[in-house]
Structure 1
Amino acid sequence: MSSSDPRRQEIQRYAIRVRGRLAPRWAARFDGMALVPQDDGTTVIDGPVADQPALHGLLRTISDLGLPLVSVTETAPQAPTHARGDQP
């Protein structure tokens, strides 16, 4: 199966850094992504993002909450997902 096969897709991970500290209860607003407070007073919102529209939705949520965006970094992807019946 080629890497361009639409049945096989890597789930990208992102680390989105915002200024301020977010309590763990806010994780539900970010599709259950991990909220990791940093020593510099920022919070990293870390986890898998299904696709570009989902990433834009997360960024829109950050904007709607008035959180100052510091950075968006793509991190190592998770293992590819497979369509039902496919072999890895």
Structure 2
Amino acid sequence: MLNESNSNIEKAEPLIYQIRIKGHLDRKWADWFSGLSITSLANGETLLTGPVLDQAMLHGLLRKVRDVGLPLVAVIRMEPEQTDGPDVKP
């Protein structure tokens, strides 16, 4: 049985996530990371930034980070006003 709150749920817009990893990735990895933008930082870290459709996609991206073998530093869901550019604070 479908409950009333579920019937009113519309497909949500993807959320923007920023995944920070230790080490640098070449931009050629962007396709493997579902088109996320790749930004190398001066502090030796890389930011993967872009839309994530749902939690399953987020977990898939985190598995890929694990598979690359670079340490995960942070996962941040960006607020809409923060999506103008990557957060490059060390």
Q: TM-score, normalised by structure 1?
A: 0.78
Q: Unpaired runs of 5+ in structure 1?
A: 78-88
Partners of 1:72 and 1:53 lie apart in 2 by 15
Match for 2:29 among 15, 23, 26? 26
1:70 is aligned to: 73
2:25 alignment partner, SS class: coil
Higher RCO (CA-CA < 8 Å; seq separation 6+): 1
Task: Say whether residues 1:58 and 2:80 are aligned partners.
Answer: no
- Matched residue count: 76
> Offset of 1:32 from its aligned partner?
0.6
Give the CA RMSD over aligned residues.
Answer: 2.0
Task: Say whether residues 1:45 and 2:48 are aligned partners.
Answer: yes
Q: Percent identity?
A: 44
Q: Which has the higher helix share?
A: 2
> Offset of 1:64 from its aligned partner?
1.1
